[in-house]
Structure 1
């Protein structure tokens, strides 16, 4: 295990309650992320320091880029399309109508343009969450559940070759790995890593297949090699580190969201930048951020339902 000596630097002192889900968009050099309890979407431009906020109709757990410049958002009532130009959200595409205590939580677009996301019990008690895949054809979403039994699912993340998916069962301090079959199914579930201190939150796969994991309650980000060994540990000046995106001009800058939701008053005094966005440099660049197409299918079968624009 190697400690990364590049100390994280706070570049946006936002004091988010629960900052989450950063996405680096190379087309305009921006980081998009959410503050879940505040129901806010944020756009940050590191080059100029410009920062803009949108209010959402409900909590947004993730936002993933669409090819038309909009985003697909995971919200308590399902999936919604968000247009940052108009600020409008589409009606929801319901995912778990039979589980009213659940909400969606964390997602990714993989190197093949497929979306994967998870759900969780909003009270963080019941193992009612699952892992889903999304495809689309002619503006119609196809959503399939591939795994279940999660109290708080996080990630997921996919290797650069599109063959391995990683997903966190955060409350159990566990990261699983799956093979992605040719038809898009998740098979061969296995233990990838188990943390002894803190909870695995957002995970991100880099261009060599390494897995960065932010540790909620553990005050660090850490990188696993594909064999599960730890290659880097980056300590943070705050306890609740949530997720990172790899970006910048060379793909070697980590943009990291953090939280202050669970801080005691004493901790908050010691961690004045908690809830901010941090950066640090990495050795291995990230994968190029893909966008999801609402017109092309990606081999994830199930029933169809339209998502209005």
Structure 2
């Protein structure tokens, strides 16, 4: 198993987020977007001119994705929205299918056909009450459940396998997807990581699966929250590569740059111990590193 990237991770010259999530590389803008969930902020960074723009909201933006024809889709606590950053204007696509007092949208992405997939996070985390939803042209359908924290959405290069994780149970799942109608079948566990035991030192804990992305070889890159590492898994779940990180809590990778060989990785500092943050000043920053295998381009949502 390889344990290196081509270059060591370095932070973008942007102030750290509390909980960075949902990064994507916008192909026409040639810029990186990501959310700061508890910071209630959407970020954009242009690496060519080192320009950082941000937009603040009254509620949490948990995920963002580009829309065909311009604008973005945002999954927020108060629903699913179409958003135009240039006007700071939201248009509701769907109301929240849950009680916003105890649940919110979390990880979300568009599939290769432009359908929007977004999961939820059940905040009490005392039972598997979260779910995965699929939105297409005005209709929001619940398509899977029995989880607590929906994460890790990504698709195989042929679009026939959906990857999905439940961070709380430390499980990454794979499901067969019909590209024509988006129906799912044959849900199975791709990789199961050991649960954290009471009192276990973080140095001996491998972390739990958070956000993810797939590269052009069909391998699944997953951020291991609290594990201080990024893993590259084969399509059958074998660990092919481990990248040690300078921060305890990575949250989600994506591929960017003109050649899609720059891996961007959001991280978190929210709620972390003061001593840990003192040792890890890059916590909350977006890290960038070069990788050998390019990623897949981001999918555009059809509105």
TM (norm. structure 2) is: 0.92
5+ residue gaps, structure 1: 295-309
1:88-124 per-position Cα deviation (integer Å, ceiling 9, x unaligned)? 1224621314675211001112223222211110233
Q: What residue in structure 2 maps to residue 297 of structure 1?
A: none
User: How far does the alpha carbon of each residue in 1:216-249 deviate from its partner, in whole angstroms, 9 at most, with x for none?
Assistant: 1011111101111111111111101000110111
Quote the offset at 1:199 in angstroms. 1.0
Cα shift at 1:261: 0.9
Per the alignment, residue 157 of structure 1 pairs with: 154
Query: Conserved in 1, the CA contact under 8 Å of 2:152 and 2:172?
Result: no
Deviation at 1:13, TM superposition (A): 4.2
* Gap change, CA 1:99 and 1:35, over 3 Å in 2: closer
SS in 2 for 1:12: coil
Map 1:159-198 onto structure 2 (within 5 A). Answer: 159-181=156-178, 182-196=180-194, 197-198=206-207
Report the CA distance between 1:209 and its aligned residue: 1.1
1:222 lines up with 2:220 in the alignment: no
Matched with 1:37 is 38
Matched, 1:209 2:218: yes
1:281 to 2:282 alignment: no
CA distance in 2: counterparts of 1:201 and 1:281, whole angstroms? 21
* RMSD of aligned alpha carbons: 1.5
Aligned to 1:293: 302
Partner of 2:136: 135
Distance 2:32 2:125 in 1: 28
Separation in 2, partners of 1:257, 1:195? 21
Pair 238,97 (structure 1): closer, same or farther in 2 beyond 3 Å: closer
TM-aligned CA deviation for residue 47 of structure 1:
1.6
Distance 1:212 1:263 in 2: 24
Contact 1:173 1:195 in 2 (8 A): yes
- Unpaired segments ≥5 residues, structure 2: 195-205
Q: Runs of 4+ in structure 1 displaced over 3 angstroms?
A: 97-100
Which whole-Å deviations, capped at 9, do the CAs of 1:6-52 have from their partners, x for residues lacking one? 32111234221100000101112100001000100000111221001
CA separation in 2, counterparts of 1:183 and 1:64? 21
Seen in structure 2, the aligned counterparts of structure 1 residues 248 and 171 have a Cα distance that, compared at 3 Å, is: same
Does residue 263 of structure 2 align to residue 254 of structure 1? yes
Paired with 1:267 and 1:259, the residues of 2 have a C-alpha distance of 12
- Whether contact under 8 Å (2:77, 2:100) holds in the other structure is no
Q: Is the 8 A contact 1:77 1:92 kept in 2?
A: no
